[in-house]
Every structure is written in C-alpha cells, then in structure tokens.
Chain A
Amino acid sequence: MSDAELTSDTVVAGVGAATRAAVPGREPRPGGITWSDGDVDRYTYDVVVVGAGGSGLRAAIEARLHGKKTAIISKSLFGKAHTVMAEGGCAASMGNVNPNDNWQVHFRDTMRGGKFLNNWQMAELHAKEAPDRVWELEAWGALFDRTKDGKISQRNFGGHEYPRLAHVGDRTGLEIIRTLQQKVVAMQQADAVEFGDPEAMIKVYAETTITELIKDDSAGDGGRIAGAFGYFRDTGRFVLFEAPAVVLATGGIGKTYKVTSNSWEYTGDGHALALRAGAKLLNMEFVQLHPTGMVWPPSVRGLLVTESVRGDGGVLRNSEGKRFMFNYVPDVFRAQYAETEDEADRWYDDPDHNRRPPELLPRDEVARSINSEIKAGRGSPHGGVFLDIASRRPADYILQRLPSMYHQFKELADVDITKEPMEIGPTCHYVMGGVEVDPATGAASVPGLFAVGEVSGGMHGSNRLGGNSLSDLLVFGRRAGLGAAEYISALPSRPVVAEADLSSAAATALEPLGRADGENPYVIHAELQTVMNDLVGLIRRESELKTALVDLDKLRAREADVSAAGGRAYNPGWHLALDLRNMLVVAESVAQSALERQESRGGHTRDDYPAMSPEWRKVNLVCSAGAGGQVELRHQPIVPMRTDLLELFDIGELKKYMTEDELAGLPGAAATSGQEH
C-alpha cells in the first residue's frame, strides 16, 4: 500500500464505516444526555479497582482469585496504562546473574536509595516477595530476556548493588502490562466456561473516570467506603459502582509539572480522591526528577531516556567532554562508588573487585549533579548534558539492549544513538509521596479504601530506586487485592450509597458544562504546570514555595469558575476541567509539605537548607483535608526500625542518617566513628 493509494477522498468516504450494518458488540453507545435521576448506570461489585496499570491489574487478579466480583476502571483503553512507559526493568533479588544477591541486600539498597525515610516494613516485604512475583509472571506467559543458562537475565541499575532488574530489552513495562492483561483475559475465558459469561466475575470498564468516592456514614463513625462515582468518557454518561472495597491504583501526579515523563493520565486522581474521602497523604514533598529526559526537540522535552543506558555502559559528560559525576559522589555513598574512570570502567566486567561508576548513583543525586553542571555553564546546546553510549559500546550491542531508545531518538530527534551522544536533562518522573497505607494489606485509614503502586506512599522513602517501581506494583498489588478480599469477607453488612451523595457527585461533575463563559481549563492547566515547574521543582527555596502557594490559591479560585464548551460525549475539555480539581489539591499538598520540610533529602532539595538532618528523618509529613477542603499538614513520628534490620547496615553508615538516641543499644554505637569499607 502506498500513500497515493490511500487518498484523502477514499478516507472521507470510509468514515461512513460508522453507519454501516451493525455488527454485534460494535454498536456505538448513545451520547449527549443531560443529568436526570435516571441518568446513571448502576453496578454492584465486591471490589472496584481504580486504575488498570500494573498495580491495579495485579490487585484485581488477586481479588478475583479469592472469589470476589471485581471491576477494573481505566481512564484509557485496556492495556494502555502508564506502566508501558517503564523501560529498564523489575528489581528482584533472584540472584540469576550474581548469586551473592538476596533480599537483605535489596532491602539495604532500597533504604539507602530512600535515604532511610522508607517505611521499612514495606521495603522488607517488597525485597522478600519480589522474586516470586516475577516468576509468577513467567508462568502467566511473560518472556523476559535470558541468561546463558536459560534463567531470567538481570541488569545493573542505579543504586542496586548487584545486577537485579529482570527486563525485556528496554520495554519491560509493556511486557508486564501485556502479561497481566492476558492473565485477566485467561481468567475471563475460564469464567465463561464456569458461569456462561466472561465478565461474570472480572470486568474492565475502559475509558471510565472516577470523580468521587462515596462513603456510608450511617453508623456516625466517620464512615466506610460504599462505592465510586464517575463517568464513561465516550458518552459522558454517569456510572455508580456500589462496592464495599475500592483499591486506588491511579499512579502519579506528573501532569501538574510542565517537564515530565508522565502521560496525560497522571493527574493525581487517586491522591485527591483519597484526601477527599478522609485518608492521609504521606510525604508529598518527595517528587523524583529522573536525571535523563530528552531536552530536544521542545515537543518531546521530558520524554524518558531509560536508566539502562547508564546500566549498560553509558556515561554523562559536560560540554568540555568531562565525566563530571566523579565530582558529585556524596559522603554517604563514597565507600561504594569508584573514584577514577579506570576503576569505574573495570567494574562492568569485574564488579567484585571494583566499585561502581558514579553515573549509577541513585536518581536524586544524578539529577542534582546534572543541574549543577548546567547552572555552571557546562551544559549542552539545548540546555542539558550529554549521555554518551556511542563511544563506549558497539552499535549492535546498543541496538539489542536499547531498541526503543534507538527508535525514539532516531524518529523524534534525528539522533543516531549508536553514533552520537544524546542530550538529556532532569524530568519529573515519579512521586514518592502518596496515600498512607498499612504495609501488609495496602489499607488506607478509611475502612474499605486501599491504595497501591505510585499512589501509595512510604515504600520508597524520599527517593525511589529505578526498577523498584515495577516490583512494587506486583508485590503490593497482590497484597492490596488480598487485603480487600479479606476486608470484605469480614464485613458484617454491605455499606449503602445514599441518594443525596449520588446527586451531589453528579452535580459537581456537571458544573463546568453548565457555565457559559468561564475560564478555559487548558489555560489554567498550563499555568499550574508553570508554577509547579518553576517554584516547586528540583531546587526549592522558602520564598518561592510561599509564592507558589499564593499562586495556587489564585488558580483554585479561577478553577471554581472553569467552563467546558460542547457536550458530554468524549469531550476532553470537560475531562480536563474535572481533572484540574485533583491536580490543584495535589499541587497544594506538594508545595505545603515542601515548605515545611527544612532539610534536603532525596526528591526534596532545599537551597536554603542544603543538609540532610537526622532530626527531620524522624518525621513524616502527613496531609489531610480540612473541613473546608483545604490541605492540613501535621508531623507524625516514624516507626523505629527493627534491630535485626538495622544490623544489616554498618554502624558507621547509620550514623550518617540517624540521631544518637536512635542508635543507642546497637553494637558499636558508642564508638566515635564506625568502620567503613
């Protein structure tokens, strides 16, 4: 077929496809209806999972395996979730490449990466269970890259002591989402045989957005989850899912920032839904800037360049051609990272006798270093630095290990990464903060509400290691699905949705359509992104954060007057108007927490408080919604780490993070300085 054969005339005629003979299952749904009492579809489920990425699908699979009737709600089509953007791999200490690896080492790396602010109970469960979750995917059909002896191959990544990331080239997230998607389909096929209907027990509601969680507070005790309200994107028709358990698996908040590797879906819906339902958000100031996003051309600024480029031998250079990362190894990591290029280069082949290249420091360190080089005037022509693998690895190696990166740079920037260096710079990538949950079950403080994956908080502390996200989704996805199933089984009676709550949710959703000449949602969104990017970005300071909060206040006032032209059927202007409410409350949580935490740690760097403080390490910042919907912030002490886990670390290392009081009683704590190696 050539372009000439498919002329626009043929195409215009072809659009009539919509009106040809109806095929079962392919009739378009009706659209453009206005609200009336009858204008809502009602469904009854045991578990409603909001979000169809890795964590949501894994939670839904587990809930179904435990006999619960489960709905999966997705803002996009089934299989398009943000998980497909994960490139590098899934961290699990299987020890296939280096047999010295085990869960203790993985746990230690995770805590170091998060600068010891992680919920250590989650980090422990994660490190212990990740291998089983990866192996399980293989039994569901996943095809990971292999080692010579036929096991799952594992690659090096920033902050991981051993090669640990199970991967498929640089499209690991796609493999995981497709495997989980196909597992759901396999379960539906089995249900078709058992119940005569593939969707009897697990059903995907694609292109559906949840705007409100509904609680039953008839007991007067603050209430429990009774359902979730939203709309079908294609028709605009409202939908109510009546269910005693809701699992939030909505991902992150990247679309509040201008330069981001995140897709449009990342509007902080789950964070905002949880907050409005009475749950708490933990440590929202920690936002990860991935060190390597594309910087040119402008339209792809922020698009992710996988960390695997560095894991597979790529290095960072400034405009003088110098490998600058050697100048930026912080004190806490000095023992583990090479001091010369020779040692760093020997490490790839002999990791047991050499220290790691500093390009593989945790992401927060690398992002800050790149920022410093650019600020010092040693940046690349388009305001980044150079990431060079072309001069370090043969072309066929690059093509085999990094096919998507080759494709991405070739097609979008005219750069051949096997011949030239890439230009890269930091990009908003991941939020470590999120809904405060019970480590074992993913339960939030509101009964019946669960959160998992990026929308949950605690697991990654102040900075997430690359590769720990995909494993997080699987480990805690399973746990939240199980937690929800157990919660329901123990429930004495089903909560009930009050009709008044339903009408109020519907009225709120319709507001932007009812206003005639309000604000354009696209304009408010663009201004919000500028505020967050410029004032609550990588390097923060008090005056700017205060300005940001004032600006956010003004934006919120304007958001109350936002209007969307057009009808209810597939209307992106209306959808954005509704998402804005979520983004604004999330942005406020981030800015308030960032202003409060007077230290620099992980994904939170304060120009005016550049040091990491052992006193602040003992503090979690917790956001909740006040009576008027405003964000309220308070301090909450961390849970002290179990002694057997503390003993996995050298006392000298712990002293860099913890106060004397915390270390009292540990062997060697009294000595003036710890032994380093």
Chain B
Amino acid sequence: MGYKAALRVWRGDAGAGALEDYQVEVNEGEVVLDVLHRLQASQASDLAIRWNCKAGKCGSCSMEINGRPRLACMTRMSVFTPTETLTITPMRTFPVIRDLVTDVSFNYAKAREIPSFSPPPDVKPGEFRMQQVDVNRSQEFRKCIECFLCQNTCHVIRDHTENEHAFSGPRFLMRIAELEMHPADTADRREIAQDDFGLGYCNITKCCTEVCPEHIKITDNAIIPMKERVVGRKYDPLVWLGDKIGRRTPKDTPKVPGKA
C-alpha cells in the first residue's frame, strides 16, 4: 500500500510547546511507533520518544493518539484512514520532559508507599504450596506492564491534581488487591487501602480498564472486590467491638512506609 500520513506531533518541553505538522511515509502492517521512528530518522532526529521493546511487553511507549491513551507499538496504522490526521501528544496527567516523553516518577513514588509482600515467617523457600485456582486472581494483575495508561486516564488525578497525595491510582490499588489475594501473603491492607491509598476516590467509571493494553479487568476484578473487602471489614461486628474497646488497628495491618 504505502502512503504519506499527516502527523501532528507535540514538540516542546516543560516550559512550552506546540503541535507541529509532518508528512511521513507509511507502509503495510506498520504501527504508530514505526511511523514515529521514520519521522525521527528522516526529519526530526531529536524527537524524544520513550520506547523499548516494541512488542507490547515493556509498557514504555505510552502516549495519546487522537486523544486516546495507547501504546504506540501496539496501535496499527490500519485503524486510521490514510486521509486522517494523527494527533500525537504526551500523556496528559504527567509533566512533560520533552516532546512525547513525560515524567512518570509519581508512579514509582506511589509504588514505594505500599507495604510489600509479607509471607508467613516460618515458610522456607521451596515449601510454598499454592493451587492454580488460588493464584489465578493475582496472576491477572501481575500481567501489568506498568505502562501507566490507567494512571494517566483516571480522572481522579487527570483532572484533579489536588488528589495526587491521597490517591494511588488504579495501578497501585490493583497492586494492593494483588497482595490481598496472594495466597501466601499474611498482611491485611484493607484499612490502609481506604485510608491511605484512596480506594474510596474511585467511582468505578472503568476508564482504566478500557485503556489497559493487557486487557486486565482492573475495575471489576481488583478495585470492586477490594471495595467489598474494605466494607466487609469495616462493618464486621467483631471489628466494631474492637474499635469500641480501643484496639483500633489490628496487628496484621502493616504500617504505611514513610508515614508516622
């Protein structure tokens, strides 16, 4: 086939920037990242793109293509018509470093706040026994390639910067669910999921699920079950009694790292 596509690519840095127009050749079977690479090699050698595997496995080339958060390496040019102009912009939620590359350090900071895997202290390596049916749930969440498209899309932080401290975002609420459903984990993160990581901010609009390139059912399988678990704990009569007699936090609730 082969045609010239019209691209409008955001160029600039933290200070300022604008959309710039380019005409780039497109060949059969190509993805958006191929076309951006051709642009880079032939017309704009310093065009900043973050990418790595070009196979949908590393989650580096997240950007917004005609306004939709996508991986450039998994977006085929055939989903657009040859006459369509492609507008390619950096992820909106994160600060721009340069061109299509954003500063995603927010996500790494959030990852460090979640209490880590806590196996029973008396189980030695090699002694774990788990059934496939029990690991299936957490395995779905561990498919996550950390492209942060869900974080970028979630309106709780996309449209409300003020929530950034209180809300971890879908990726890390899912990480909490993953640990909660891990058959060998002993900690109880239900209370802190609500109080420290902002589970309650999620109003299940499922935008995260819609943009997930791994097709993980973030809302249905991670966030909603976590909300149910949090509610189940909060209204448990024994927990209520514990609260009354002054034992507010059970000892298997881990401390949030970095919090007093």
CB-CB < 8 A to A11: which residues of B? Answer: 64, 67, 87, 89, 92
The reply to whether A234 and B101 form a contact with Cβ atoms under 8 Å apart is: yes
B205 touches A1 (CB 8 A): yes
**CB–CB A15/B45 < 8 A:** no
The answer, yes or no, to whether B40 is at the interface (CB within 8 Å) is yes
Given contacts A20-B161, A25-B105, whether A76 and B58 have CB atoms under 8 Å apart is yes
Q: Across the interface, do A564 and B90 meet the contact criterion of CB distance under 8 Å?
A: no
Query: Which of A168-176, A468-476, A546-554 binds B?
Result: A168-176
Q: Within 8 Å CB of A570, what residues of B?
A: 48, 97-99, 101
B129 contacts A143, C-beta separation under 8 Å? no
A408 interface residue per 8 A CB criterion: yes
Contacts of A303 in B (CB 8 A): 54-55
Q: Which residues on B sit within 8 Å (CB–CB) of A169?
A: 139
The size bracket of the interface on B is 35 or more
Asked whether, in the complex, the Cβ of B116 is within 8 Å of the Cβ of A141, the reply is yes
- The range of chain A's interface size is 35 or more
A413 within 8 Å of B (CB atoms): yes
Nearest Cβ on chain B to A3's Cβ, whole angstroms = 5
Residues of B within 8 A of A82 (CB): 52-53
Q: Return the chain B residue nearest A140 by Cβ.
A: B117
Count CB-based A-B contacts (< 8 Å).
257
A85 lies within 8 A of B164 (CB)? no
Q: Is the CB of A297 within 8 A of B14?
A: no
A200 to chain B, nearest CB (A): 13
Which of A25, A182, A300 is within 8 Å of B109, CB to CB?
A: A25
Contact B97 A77 (CB under 8 A): no
User: Which residues of B (6-54) have their CB < 8 Å from a CB of A?
Assistant: 8, 10, 12-15, 17, 19, 27-31, 34, 40-42, 45-54
A413 touching B46 by the CB < 8 A rule? no
Residue A326 is within 8 A (CB to CB) of chain B in the complex: no
Identify the closest chain A residue to B138 (Cβ).
A143
CA distance A78 to B60 in the complex (A): 10
| Least distance between A128 CB and chain B CB atoms (Å) | 14
A7, A84, A570: which has the most chain B beta carbons within 10 Å? A570
Give the most central of B93, B123, B132, B215: most A CB within 10 Å: B132
Q: Does B247 contact A (CB under 8 A)?
A: no
Contact: B145 with A1, CB < 8 Å? no
Choose from B15, B17, B29, B131 the contact partner of A300 (Cβ within 8 Å): B29
Question: B220 interface residue, CB < 8 Å from A?
Answer: no
Name which of A185-193, A271-279, A357-365 contacts chain B. Answer: A185-193
Cβ contact within 8 Å between A26 and B205? no
- The reply to whether the CB of B210 lies closer than 8 angstroms to some CB of chain A is yes
For A673, the chain B residues whose CB sits under 8 A away are: none
Closest B-chain residue to A235, C-beta based? Answer: B97
Residue from the set B67, B76, B106, B153 with the largest chain A CB neighbour count within 10 Å: B67
Asked if B182 is at the interface of the complex by the 8 Å CB criterion, the answer is yes
Q: Does A220 contact B (CB under 8 A)?
A: no
Which residue of chain B lies nearest to A177 when distances are taken between CB atoms in the complex?
Answer: B58
Contacts of A21 in B (CB 8 A): 161
Known: A143-B139, A174-B57. A6 touches B117 (CB 8 A): no
Q: Which residues of chain B in 70-101 are interfacial with respect to chain A, using CB atoms and an 8 Å cutoff? A: 74, 76, 87, 89-90, 92-99, 101
Q: Are A25 and B106 in contact (CB under 8 A)?
A: yes
**Are the C-beta atoms of A80 and B58 separated by less than 8 Å?**
yes
Docked CA distance A12–B90 (Å): 9
The segment from A146-154, A389-397, A607-615, A623-631 that touches chain B is A146-154
What's the nearest-Cβ distance from chain B to residue A52, in Å?
A: 12
Query: A674 an interface residue at 8 Å Cβ cutoff?
Result: no
A80, B130: Cβ atoms under 8 Å? no
> How far, in Å, is A103 (CB) from chain B's closest CB?
15
A637 at the interface (CB under 8 A from B): no
Q: How far is the CA of A25 from the CA of B110 in the complex (A)?
A: 11
CB distance B142 to A189 under 8 Å?
no
Residues on the B chain within 8 Å of A132, using CB? 125-126
Determine the chain B residues whose CB is within 8 A of the CB of A408 once the complex forms.
Answer: 55-56
- Establish whether residues B98 and A569, one from each chain, have CB atoms under 8 Å apart when the complex forms: yes
1/0 contact string of A110-151 vs chain B (CB within 8 Å):
000000000000000000000110011011110101100111
Evaluate contact between B45 and A566: CB separation under 8 angstroms: yes
Stretch at the interface among A307-315, A486-494, A571-579, A584-592: A571-579
For the complex, what is the distance from the CA of A81 to the CA of B257, rounded to whole Å? 26
Asked if A136 and B58 sit within 8 Å, CB to CB, the answer is no
Given contacts A3-B67, A522-B40, is CB(A412)–CB(B28) below 8 Å? no
Q: Cβ of A574 and Cβ of B125 under 8 Å apart?
A: no
Closest B residue to A17 by beta carbon equals B92
When distances are taken between beta carbons in the complex, the residues of chain B under 8 Å from A77 are 50, 60, 104
Shortest Cβ distance from B126 into A: residue:
A135
Chain A 276-293 interface 0/1 with B at a Cβ cutoff of 8 Å (1 = within): 000000000000000000
Question: Would you call A8 and B90 a contact (CB within 8 A)?
Answer: no
Contact among B12, B53, B138 for A263, CB-based, below 8 A: B53
B239 at the interface (CB under 8 A from A): no
Closest CB in chain B relative to A34 CB, distance in Å: 15
Residue from B125, B132, B143, B153 within 8 A of A138 (CB atoms) = B125
Within 8 A of B (CB), among A18-36: 18-21, 23, 25-29, 31
Contact in complex: A84, B53 (CB < 8 Å):
yes
Whether B55 contacts A143 by the Cβ 8 Å rule is no
> When chains A and B are docked, how far (Å) is the Cα of A567 from the Cα of B101?
15
CB contact under 8 A between A299 and B31, given known A143-B138, A411-B56 = yes
Q: Does B196 contact A (CB under 8 A)?
A: no
Docked Cα-Cα span, A141 to B175, in Å, equals 12
B96 contact from A8, A18, A413, Cβ within 8 A: A18
A145 to B143, CA, bound (A): 13
Asked if A99 is an interface residue, CB under 8 A from chain B, the answer is no
Residue from B45, B54, B99, B153 within 8 A of A564 (CB atoms)? B45
Question: Please, which residue of chain A has its CB at the minimum distance from the CB of B104?
Answer: A77
| Cβ–Cβ < 8 Å partners of B31 in chain A | 299-300, 412
A665 is an interface residue with CB less than 8 A from chain B: no
Interface hub of B13, B47, B66, B126 (most chain A Cβ within 10 A) = B126
In the complex, what distance in Å separates the CA atom of A283 from the CA atom of B126?
36
Contact of A567 among B40, B46, B87, B215 (CB under 8 A): B46
25 contacts between A and B (CB under 8 A): A1-B211, A8-B8, A15-B10, A15-B89, A20-B161, A25-B106, A25-B109, A80-B60, A82-B53, A84-B57, A85-B57, A139-B119, A139-B125, A141-B119, A146-B130, A149-B129, A150-B128, A185-B112, A264-B54, A299-B29, A299-B30, A408-B56, A413-B29, A569-B13, A572-B40
Q: Which 7 A-B pairs have the closest CB atoms?
A: A297-B29, A566-B46, A573-B45, A14-B92, A150-B129, A141-B117, A6-B67
Chain A residues packing against B (C-beta within 8 Å): 1, 3, 6-8, 10-12, 14-15, 17-21, 23, 25-29, 31, 76-82, 84-85, 94, 131-132, 135-136, 138-141, 143, 145-146, 149-151, 153, 168-169, 171, 174-175, 178, 182, 185-186, 188-189, 192-193, 198, 206, 234, 263-265, 296-300, 303-304, 404, 407-408, 411-413, 520-523, 526, 564-567, 569-574
